[in-house]
Amino acid sequence: MRSAASYLDTASSEPLHPAARETLLAAYDRGYADPRRLHGPGRDARLLLDNARAVVAECLGVRPDEVTFTSSGTEAVHRGLLGLRRGPGPVAHTAVEHSAVVHAATWAGAALELPVDRLGRVDPATAPSDASVVAVQSANHEVGTLQPVAEVPAGVPLFVDACASMGRLPLPDRWDALAGSAHKWGGPAGVGVLLVRKGARWLNPFPGDDRIDERASGFENVPAALAAAAALRAVVEEREEVNARQHALVDLVRTRVAAEVPDVEVVGDPVDRLPHLVTFSCLYVDGETLVTELDRRGYGVASGSACTASTLTPSRVLEAMGVLTHGNVRVSLTRDTTAATVEGFLEALPGVVRDIRTQVGL
């Protein structure tokens, strides 16, 4: 098994939190039955599901009846965004939304991109008043910049993709529907959280089902929902300490990469950002080679460069910000990434970049 000690891609998926592991194993024994059934095992499953919902609601500071479990963060995004749509107007979204938002807006046939500045921040005043729904993420998943969600003009339904920040940061105050994803905070994959504000006008954009929660479809994954809730509770309890530690380590990466790697651009807001992730781009460096060479030295990082993406086009986020798209690396820290790991990465990086540049004659 590969060591997880130098896994620096938690923004793609955080390792399972120990609290989730224990809960998951116990819940598989107790939460297998159909929670709609009236027999004992069914009532047990229902109890666990209601418990999961209550814990998530408490951790997020919302009402339990505002919480829906979906089969993924992507599904929560699709349902949340499309269910809010009011009328035929454009589905306005920031140019740096996750692809789940962009795909849903495109599918709706009326996508409208709102531009961002060099830090990746949107100006919410650019949202048109005739929009059928506006999507603004809580924080950017690639560069960490927090978005001014509170400044979105009132009167238009507001969808917030909070997948990058849920558990780590409190929710923004304003949203009509909001999405999160459990595997990004240390819960199991296959659990999304959809919040729909009490009183918000939300209509199921997909076929209905006859399950417990009318906003979802399909058989509930009770054990995973409960494990996601347990992880969320642990993460919220730990976040003051974890965030401070991660914020300082990311500051170290930002400072030392800028100082020790020539021709590099460290991107995103240096202060008003997610605590655990940082992105930079190295001139003249092929992103795939960079990721591969860092992996050979034991560091697992992500990249938004074209040759490392599934689409063969560079990251839309970097493109919209107007920053260098090649030679890109995103480093994101797990809850227990140590200073020694980060320092080891920072020691290795300049040599790796220099070698790749030497090979192309620069």
Partner 1 sequence: MTDPVVDLELDCRGLLCPLPVIELGKRYAEVPVGGVVAVLADDVAARTDIPAWCRMRGQDYLGEDPTGRYLVRRVGP
Residues annotated catalytic, as ranges = 307
Number of residues near partner 1 (by CB under 8 A)? 23
Give the nearest distance from C-beta 265 to partner 1 in angstroms. Answer: 6
Give the nearest distance from C-beta 357 to partner 1 in angstroms. Answer: 9
253: tokens are: 């990466």
Interaction with partner 1 in 262-281: which residues (CB under 8 A)?
263, 265, 281
Q: Which of 285, 294, 329, 353 binds partner 1 (CB under 8 A)?
A: 285
345: left (phi over 0), alpha (psi -120 to 50) or beta: alpha
Between CA 57 and CA 329 the distance in angstroms is: 35
Q: Which of 44, 161, 269, 286 binds partner 1 (CB under 8 A)?
A: 286
DSSP calls for 298-334 = T-B-B--SGGGSTTSS--HHHHHHT---SSEEEEE--
Query: Which parts of the chain fold into alpha helices (H)?
Result: 18-30, 40-60, 73-84, 99-108, 222-260, 287-296, 316-321, 339-359
By beta-carbon proximity to partner 1, the closer residue of 54 and 307 is 307
By beta-carbon proximity to partner 1, the closer residue of 213 and 288 is 288
By beta-carbon proximity to partner 1, the closer residue of 68 and 328 is 328
Please report, for residues 77, 103, 130, 232, the alpha-carbon distance to residue 153 in angstroms, rounded to integers and kept in the order given: 21, 24, 11, 30
Contact (CB, 8 A) for 352 and 293: yes
- CA angle in degrees (0–180, nearest 5) for 195-121-301: 80
By beta-carbon proximity to partner 1, the closer residue of 57 and 143 is 143
Interaction with partner 1 in 297-326: which residues (CB under 8 A)?
305-307, 313-314, 318-319, 322-326
Our finding on whether 360 is near partner 1 (CB under 8 A) is: yes
Q: Which of 16, 110, 283, 346 binds partner 1 (CB under 8 A)?
A: 283
By beta-carbon proximity to partner 1, the closer residue of 212 and 283 is 283
**In 10 A of CB 245, how many CB atoms?**
18
Give the nearest distance from C-beta 147 to partner 1 in angstroms. Answer: 21
Give the nearest distance from C-beta 255 to partner 1 in angstroms. Answer: 18
Q: Which of 13, 209, 284, 348 binds partner 1 (CB under 8 A)?
A: 284
Provide the sign of the torsion angle of the four alpha carbons 184, 185, 189, 194, taken in this order.
negative
Which residues 6+ apart lie within 8 Å of 293 measured at CB? 352, 355, 356
SS3 assignment, position 126: helix
Give the nearest distance from C-beta 325 to partner 1 in angstroms. Answer: 5
Give the nearest distance from C-beta 358 to partner 1 in angstroms. Answer: 12
By beta-carbon proximity to partner 1, the closer residue of 202 and 280 is 280
**Residues at the interface with partner 1 (CB under 8 A):** 263, 265, 281, 283-286, 305-307, 313-314, 318-319, 322-327, 360-362
